[in-house]
Amino acid sequence: MDKQPMLPLTEPRLVDAPAMTLAGLKMRYPYDGTAAIPAQWQRFDAMEHEVPARTGNASYGVCMNDDGGRFDYIAAVEVTPAAAIGGAFTRIALAPATYAVFAHGGHITEMRATFDAIWNGWFPKSGRQFSGAPLFERYGPEFDAATGHGGFEIWIPLKA
């Protein structure tokens, strides 16, 4: 099988981000079983209005608790740190961190190619290292979930 060419990336911007609290719907996936993530987003979109103390207008897809074969994915929104989160929702407290922020302007189905270009192209050439903290996709109001277009960002936390 021929290897697909690596997607060209624009140089990321580096962002020193403050602490952030997110709340959302968490599911665990094997690396090769991520096809159910869109259904997770549909379920979360239907109940997003129930998340208390929401701030901002972005949504986040958080990847964490990677054990080398499986990871947790959380479809989330930002909330105030003191928000009372319960029921089906999980709270995530992200510590302040420096992130490499990559723009993804293509269709959402091309996301895997962007991640491949980050891990196998940018990281080896950058001299930077992944911190191991949660990474996330940030979907702003310009992203259209119905069409999968509008662009979004991939935020990768870096070691100091």
Average pLDDT estimate for 102-125: 93
Q: Which long-range contacts (CB under 8 A, 24 or more apart) does 3-10 make?
A: 4/113, 6/113, 6/116, 6/117, 6/120, 6/121, 7/110, 7/113, 7/114, 7/116, 7/117, 8/117, 9/102, 9/114, 9/117, 9/118, 9/121, 9/122, 10/102, 10/103
- Tell me the pLDDT tens digit for each residue of 68-100: 899 999 999 999 999 999 899 999 999 999 999
Q: Is the pLDDT of residue 19 over 50?
A: yes
Question: Domains in the chain, start-ordered, CATH in brackets?
Answer: 13-157 (3.20.80.10)
Report the distance separating Cα 70 and Cα 28, nearest Å: 7
Average pLDDT estimate for 29-52: 94
Residue 1, judged by CB atoms within 10 A of its CB (0-12, 13-18, 19+), counts as exposed
Q: Taken in order 77, 28, 3, 107, is the CA torsion positive or negative?
A: negative
- Tell me the pLDDT tens digit for each residue of 6-18: 556 889 999 999 9
Spacing of C-alpha 47 from chain mean position: 19
Q: What percent of the chain has pLDDT over 90?
A: 86
Strand runs labelled E in 7-139:
13-17, 20-30, 54-64, 70-79, 90-94, 97-104, 135-139
Q: Is the pLDDT of residue 146 over 70?
A: yes
- Of residues 101 and 112, the one with the higher pLDDT is 101
Q: What is the pLDDT of residue 7?
A: 57
